Structure 1
Amino acid sequence: MQNFRFMSPTDFIFGKDTELQVGTEIQKYGKKVLFHYGGGHIKKNGLYDRIITSMDDSGIEYIELGGVKANPDVGLVREGIEICREEQVDFILAAGGGSVIDSAKAIAMGVSYERDVWDFFEGEAEIPEALPVGVILTIPATGSEASNTTVVTNSAEGHLKRAVSSDLLKPVFSIMNPELTYSLPAYQTAAGGVDIMSHVLERYFTLEPDCGFTDRLCEATLRTVIQCLPNVLKNPNDYAARAELMWTGTIAHNGILGVGRIEDWGSHMLGHEISALYDLTHGATLSIIIPQWMEYVYQTDLTRFVKYAVNVWQVEEDFYHPERTALEGMKRTKEYFRSVGMPVSLSEAGIGAEGIEEMAEKCTKYGAVGGFMKLEKEDCMTIYKNAR
């Protein structure tokens, strides 16, 4: 096990009607808020009105900035930064899923920076400080309500999708009411479930020995998602299953599952390039890439893939032919993704082969990716080709 430091400063406020507390929570950190959200969903389900009422009752002054789309773009981030500067905003409230939260984090870190915020995503600057960010989560998926990371797309300068991580970006509070997810479309729910699983898998597949405790935490988280996701797709108003799914999303990406381990993140890097070029939902890129990544790298540590098959998918272990066990676990992963309505190939997502070299080139722009197996450009191209 590697040495590690783990910090989780976010105050998680979980349960029914917890969004009604948002005004009181904001009072602890600021007085003038940038209220950041996406499209009309929070207005249709009444969340917007409840937030406004709570802020008004608490005497919070606010400026609104909506319009966040899936795969949030740096253009809107820059607009938000300018608003915060001009209006002297001291707090940002993100109401939505990962895209809204990531956009809010990017705005927060750019307000005090004199140059362009994209510098952080290109690795040309360190984050000096960030405005505090609070969250009302509406989509369990990215774990951004608990993570130290923001992922943003630069569509105007080459369809680039990049991530920045800093503990300064962890939200100060995250309000999580599972009832707010009842009205999510099935596809968005499923994509979120795949995203949650991917965050666990990026940590589970490690070459670091002696991580038995976090292995078991990872396996329990994966099995919970595997059980609960079909339940909420069948019964969207199943509070118990929605609650389990929402909390696993947080645990999957607040860092606790990765302590002491060398994480991978190769699948995410490959998936980001698909999203950047084709604007495909993040979870869909992962349902396509993860099975192909597994098939490409499993011989790096066959024993770990056997463990995954047995402990996560309950595959009966073939002690004489361990490879058969590993392959069955990979097969069940792919079948599961398909069973919840997610694509498992580029063609199923309506994507051809013409962008493969460009994606591989961008994926490895700063060098090989992945901690479990280092993937060079040619490796990435092979995985993309196998995913057709």
Structure 2
Amino acid sequence: MRAFNYDIPTKVYFGEGKIKHLPDLIKQFGNKVLLTYGGGSIKRNGIYDEVQDLLKGCKIFELSGIDPNPRIETVREGAKICKENDIDVILAVGGGSTIDCSKVIAAAAKYDGDAWDLVMDGSLITDALPLVDILTLSATGTEMNFNAVITNFDVKMKQGTASKHLYPYASILDPTYTYTVPANQTAAGTADIMSHTIENYFQAEDNAFITDGLSESILRATIKYLPIALEDPENYEARSNLMWASTVALNGLTSMGKGGGWTTHPIEHYLSAYYDITHAVGLAILTPRWMRYILSNKTVDRFARYANKVWDIEETDDKFAMAEEAIEKTYQFFVDNGLPMTLPEVGIETDEHFEEMAKGPAERLSRAYVPLNPEDVVEILNRCMTEGSE
């Protein structure tokens, strides 16, 4: 195992009714609140009214309409509101996009330059407004980490940034708030959880026994509970396990003692930057094709473990057969749960931009579990144009 430090300052309030802690969490910072959210779902499901009632002693400013791939323009708008109104604290209500956007708004509110600087160079983030969030979608894990991803369509970039100042002060995780999440978003969110876990699981360090066991448990939980949540959206056991899987998958625990570059995320960020597709759907499409592409004598042992520990495939001497069955099960799981699994299904009809996109993540992919060059990326993208995990 690699050496590591672990320090997560975020306070987590998990369970039904935990929103009751919101007034105390907010008022310790002041009474000027920037409420951020996406579309109208929090008004339809009642969370918006609940927040307004609990914070009726506060002066609330609003920034709505945050997009699924949050834009730098929205960050700039939010930072402007914070500066002009001397905002004390940001309250983000929504999924990963809303929270990511709010994190960078919190930092940009304390920065004199352009917000995009902070996305390109996280070391420029030296302060941020306090952030409290109420999670409404199990997916990204941003509710308990220091990362954020922002899109700049002007330069065709979807870029991640990170800073210790971006940790939420507190996150309220009430699984009942995910009851009304549509089936397609529930499935996509689960694909995101699985992808985060897989990116950390498939790394060169294969002796982090506890960390790998945790990753395997997260993957098994998603495989068990996604179909239940789709069949019975108000099943608390399923929704709570998916929500906690989302948080644990990317709060650092699944990378402790491991480390190394990721693969499908850097590639997908360029798909989203060029085509504005749903991030998690892109990951689902890419993951089994990437798995098949990197399967080799060097990686087969890890895939065989994945097959046995995650998919309950019986151990045999033919590790390649185990690996191939596990990859196919991964692909079929996404299909069975309603996710589009080819690029044409999400509107990418040609390979027009593949070579250009493949150059973008090249430096990051040189440090991946299996290093890839732009030609490898183009081949993986081409495999995503047709059905099947081949």
Provide the secondary structure at the position in 1 that maps to 2:360. Answer: helix
1:336, distance to aligned residue in structure 2 (A): 0.4
In the alignment, which residue of structure 2 is the partner of 1:45? 45
Q: What TM-score do the two structures reach when normalised by structure 2?
A: 0.95
Provide the secondary structure at the position in 2 that maps to 1:145. Answer: helix
Return the letter of the residue paired with 2:86: Q
Matched, 1:371 2:368: yes
Closer, same or farther: CA 369–231 of 1 in aligned 2, 3 Å = farther
Q: What TM-score do the two structures reach when normalised by structure 1?
A: 0.96
1:369, distance to aligned residue in structure 2 (A): 4.8
1:336-351 superposed matches below 5 A = 336-351=333-348
Counterpart Cα distance in 2 of 1:370 and 1:70: 28
Counterpart Cα distance in 2 of 1:71 and 1:369: 26
- Is contact 2:122-2:162 (8 Å) kept? no
In the alignment, which residue of structure 1 is the partner of 2:101? 103
- Is contact 1:133-1:173 (8 Å) kept? yes
Equivalent residue for 1:68, pick from 50, 61, 66: 66
Counterpart Cα distance in 1 of 2:138 and 2:358: 29
Counterpart Cα distance in 1 of 2:20 and 2:49: 10
1:49, distance to aligned residue in structure 2 (A): 0.5
Equivalent residue for 1:192, pick from 189, 194, 197: 189
Among the aligned pairs, what percent are the same residue? Answer: 40
1:14, distance to aligned residue in structure 2 (A): 1.2
The runs of 5 or more residues in structure 2 that have no matched partner are 386-390
Counterpart Cα distance in 1 of 2:122 and 2:200: 27
1:30, distance to aligned residue in structure 2 (A): 3.3
Provide the secondary structure at the position in 1 that maps to 2:340. Answer: coil
Counterpart Cα distance in 2 of 1:281 and 1:295: 23
1:23, distance to aligned residue in structure 2 (A): 1.7
Matched, 1:381 2:378: yes
1:237, distance to aligned residue in structure 2 (A): 0.8
Return the letter of the residue paired with 2:187: A
In the alignment, which residue of structure 2 is the partner of 1:313? 311
Counterpart Cα distance in 2 of 1:189 and 1:209: 31
Counterpart Cα distance in 1 of 2:156 and 2:58: 37
In the alignment, which residue of structure 2 is the partner of 1:3? 3
Counterpart Cα distance in 1 of 2:253 and 2:189: 19
Provide the secondary structure at the position in 2 that maps to 1:286. Answer: helix
1:207, distance to aligned residue in structure 2 (A): 0.5
In the alignment, which residue of structure 2 is the partner of 1:277? 274
1:367, distance to aligned residue in structure 2 (A): 5.2
1:124, distance to aligned residue in structure 2 (A): 7.8
In the alignment, which residue of structure 1 is the partner of 2:159? 162
Provide the secondary structure at the position in 1 that maps to 2:372. Answer: coil
Provide the secondary structure at the position in 2 that maps to 1:357. Answer: helix
- Is contact 1:95-1:136 (8 Å) kept? yes
Provide the secondary structure at the position in 1 that maps to 2:34. Answer: strand
Equivalent residue for 1:258, pick from 255, 259, 266: 255
- Is contact 1:205-1:264 (8 Å) kept? no
In the alignment, which residue of structure 1 is the partner of 2:19? 19
In the alignment, which residue of structure 1 is the partner of 2:244? 247
Q: Deviations over 1:212-266 (max 9, x none)?
A: 1111100011000100000000010111111111111000011111111014421
Q: Deviations over 1:160-197 (max 9, x none)?
A: 10000112111110001111111111000000000011
- Is contact 1:202-1:263 (8 Å) kept? no
Counterpart Cα distance in 1 of 2:302 and 2:131: 38
Counterpart Cα distance in 1 of 2:199 and 2:31: 39
Return the letter of the residue paired with 2:353: G
Provide the secondary structure at the position in 1 that maps to 2:13. Answer: strand
1:379, distance to aligned residue in structure 2 (A): 1.6
Closer, same or farther: CA 146–124 of 1 in aligned 2, 3 Å = closer
Counterpart Cα distance in 1 of 2:366 and 2:97: 23
In the alignment, which residue of structure 2 is the partner of 1:126? 124
Counterpart Cα distance in 1 of 2:101 and 2:366: 24
Provide the secondary structure at the position in 2 that maps to 1:108. Answer: helix
1:122, distance to aligned residue in structure 2 (A): 2.2
In the alignment, which residue of structure 2 is the partner of 1:302? 300
Matched, 1:203 2:200: yes
Return the letter of the residue paired with 2:275: Y
Return the letter of the residue paired with 1:328: E
1:208, distance to aligned residue in structure 2 (A): 0.9
1:378, distance to aligned residue in structure 2 (A): 1.5
What is the alpha-carbon root mean square deviation over aligned residues? 1.4
1:21-36 superposed matches below 5 A = 21-36=21-36
1:81, distance to aligned residue in structure 2 (A): 0.6
